Amino acid sequence: MKNGRTFLLILMLVSIACACRKEEGNKLSYYVTPYPYEIVSVEEPPATNEVRNVIFLIGDGMGLEQVSCAWVLNHGKLNLDNMSVVGLSRTYSLSDLITDSAAGGTALAVGQKTSNSHVGTDAEGKPLYSMLVKAQELGKKTGVVVTCHMADATPADFCCHSDNRYKYDEVIAGYGQCGVDYIAGGGRDYFGKNRKDARNIADEMGTKGYAVAYDEVALMEAHLPILALLADDNLPVALERGDLFRHMVGKGLAELSTSCGDKGFVLMIEGSSIDDWLHENRIDRAMEELLDFDRTLGDVLQWAAADGHTLVVVTADHATGALTLQDGDLAEGRVGVAFGNDSHNGIAVPYYVWGPGRNQFGGTMENAELGALITSFVR
């Protein structure tokens, strides 16, 4: 009898411990954005219009679950809602079911899958050339705008080549050879101070004719080609940087469009830090990054609507954080979320298309297939 009571007590204690762990595991993080905004109203040009420009926006770590949270936070409306074609992109790499940003971004940039950690190279380390290189060969202008440091994987996927994304000195040196007309982001220290070889890649690019800008004022006064390094590392978080990202994109659109003549341009824009804060399980900062990305998309759509010959595509390289939306209130713009991990997952991510050429998209694609299709409009 005594043994029976002891067993029952142990069982009760185990049950309580399991319940506590379950409660802790399902603990929700709540957030309400302090800055809801109105979405833009744009008239989409005919799908049959000639495509002269391609603007490709990548929300790093931005799966459907992250978009859903942002939609609630902004009271049921996003500029992404303007996108008339929606599909799914499978993100696995050649080496892993769960991709990293290097392989995921390379697939989108060049239209070919590669192994994790590879930026702008195949699985054997041979260079792969992105849609920006094709654009340059056709006489188009090219640009990259990001919120991260320029040594990060996604901008490197479009501009540089290395079999290891963490060979930062090698990656950064690639910007000096890439020929991209407009480069804007963070990472001053990676170009000089943090290098082991004592080179200053920014100075070297300056001698090649780049206007090198280290703050927003200098950027706004510069003309192509431009290298803008506006922070030592990543840009400040969204709630601190204000409209800096939108201004960087606006400057890029102005410079590229006025200097490309009738040949057009290709611009890659990344909301890089969505992913960073999802890794930290910081729903507040991740959502403000995503909302800033969506506000920037609104600016892009207004510009593209006035132009009439610009294809706009939005997607993610992967989703991050195993995020679930479990509570909230649409009228209040409040979410309650739980994170399942602090890394990537293998769930297909959405892609969104707007503008001329959109009728060629739709359905489920491999990420490399999506990248190849976008590249086919660089012509």
**Residue 89 host element (H or E):** strand 85-90
CB 115, CB 164: distance < 8 Å = no
Tokens (6 digits) for 61: 């770590």
CA distance linking residue 33 with residue 333, whole number of Å:
7
- Three-state secondary-structure class, residue 159: helix
> In the 3-class helix/strand/coil scheme, how is 237-282 assigned residue by residue?
CHHHHCCHHHHHHHHHHHHHHHHCCCCCEEEEEEECHHHHHHHCCC
Tokens (6 digits) for 287: 């959502």
CA distance linking residue 201 with residue 169, whole number of Å:
9
CA distance linking residue 152 with residue 166, whole number of Å:
8
**Residue 170 host element (H or E):** helix 168-173
Bond prior to 225 in cis (omega within 30° of 0): yes
CA distance linking residue 218 with residue 373, whole number of Å:
36
Backbone angles phi and psi of 202, in degrees to 5: -65, -45
CA distance linking residue 161 with residue 125, whole number of Å:
8
CB 150, CB 183: distance < 8 Å = yes
Q: Which residues carry out catalysis? A: 101
Tokens (6 digits) for 79: 């500029």
Query: Which amino acid, 101?
Result: S
Could you write out the DSSP letters of every residue in 335-361? EEEEES-SSEE---EEEEEESTTGGG-
Residue 151, number of CB atoms within 10 A of its CB: 27
